[in-house]
Amino acid sequence: MKTNVIYNENCYIGIKNIPNNSVDLVIIDPPYDIDTRRNRIGYNRIAKSILKVENTLLDHNLTESYDFSLLDELIRIMKKVNIYIWCNKSQIEDYLKYFVDKHKCRYEILIWNKTNAMPLYSNKYINDKEYCLYFRKESKCNPATYEDARTVYTSPLNARDRVLYHHPTIKPVDFIRRMIRNSSNENDIVLDCFMGSGTTAVASIMENRKYIGFEINKKYFDISNARIEKILEEKELWK
């Protein structure tokens, strides 16, 4: 499997081409309606609210079932369990059961605190955070600075990036760079099965890691590649 490539395909199919024990770090940000733990790629109830901003699955009519779980495949391809997963609150329990109870991993809960969340708090708290779970087993987590060791990353929801890269759920590249620095070494391979606008690839390039990505949506696939090209040019200029 080639590295430094994003494949424009369904990751449930593409992941089968990745050899056992070959990936150092996984960072995934599945649409929150995908059920990675079981074997379904269709919608669940959580989907309804998320679909307002994330309707890419609808574009592809993906409602297939597979006779394997994506998480089992990720366990197969990682050298050691070393994985960050963006998720919503109601998915946390399932991920803990899978990685901590079943696979005896250590875990951490990281949070992106958005400082400019919508001020909607009638009978509820403001929706001003996103969760990213980190699971590892025998793999290292070595933050080099106090800043890198923090579990909460605070920044505004970056409207400029969302407009620039046309992706509704783009994540902050500096936060992903921090995860990569803390949990991998230079030249390691980082996999992202749901590349979106290419944030993990860009962060990997900036941190001198290799990447493998999947993105099913041609529009986002093209956006990712344009973003990667730009960052490679900038990197050349920094030299």
Ligand X SMILES: C[S@@+](CC[C@H](N)C(=O)[O-])C[C@H]1O[C@@H](n2cnc3c(N)ncnc32)[C@H](O)[C@@H]1O
| Piece of the chain touching ligand X by CB under 6 A; list 73-81, 114-122, 152-160, 195-203 | 195-203
Q: How far is the CB of 217 from ligand X (least distance, A)?
A: 4
When the beta carbons of 87 and 189 are compared against ligand X, the nearer one is 87
Binding mask 124-163 for ligand X (x = CB under 6 A): ----------------------------------------
Q: Compute the half-sphere exposure of residue 228: CA atoms within 13 Å on the CB side of its CA.
A: 22
Pick between residue 171 and residue 181 the one whose CB is nearest to ligand X: 171
As measured in angstroms, the least distance from the Cβ of 114 to ligand X is 14
Instruction: Determine, following the binding rule CB under 6 A, whether residue 171 of this chain makes contact with ligand X.
Output: yes
Close Cβ partners of 64 (under 8 Å, ≥ 6 residues apart):
12, 41, 42
Based on CB atoms, which residue is closest to ligand X, 142 or 168? Answer: 168
Gap between the Cα atoms of 90 and 83, Å rounded:
19
How many residues interact with ligand X (rule CB under 6 A)? 22
CA 215 to chain CA mean position, Å: 12
What residue number has its CB nearest to ligand X?
Answer: 196
User: If binding is defined by CB under 6 A, does position 194 make contact with ligand X?
Assistant: yes
Neighbours of 86 (CB within 10 A): 20
* Closer residue to ligand X (CB): 180 or 216: 216
Q: What is the dihedral of CA 157, 206, 148, 89, to 10 degrees?
A: 40
Residues 20-49 within binding reach of ligand X (CB under 6 A)? 29, 31, 41
**Taking CB under 6 A as the rule, does residue 183 contact ligand X?**
no
Task: Give residue for tokens 């609150």.
Answer: 89
Residue 222 beta carbon to ligand X: minimum distance, rounded to whole angstroms: 12
Give the nearer residue to ligand X in terms of CB position, either 169 or 184.
169
CA separation for the pair 219, 235 (Å, rounded): 24
Report how far residue 113's alpha carbon sits from residue 153's, in angstroms, rounded to the nearest whole number: 6
Phi, psi of 18 (to 5 degrees): -90, 125
Which of 117, 147, 157, 111 has the alpha carbon at shortest distance from 131? Answer: 111
Q: What angle do CA 217, 221, 224 make, to 5 degrees?
A: 140
**Contact positions toward ligand X, by CB under 6 A?**
10-12, 29, 31, 41, 56-57, 167, 169-171, 193-194, 196-197, 199, 214-217, 220
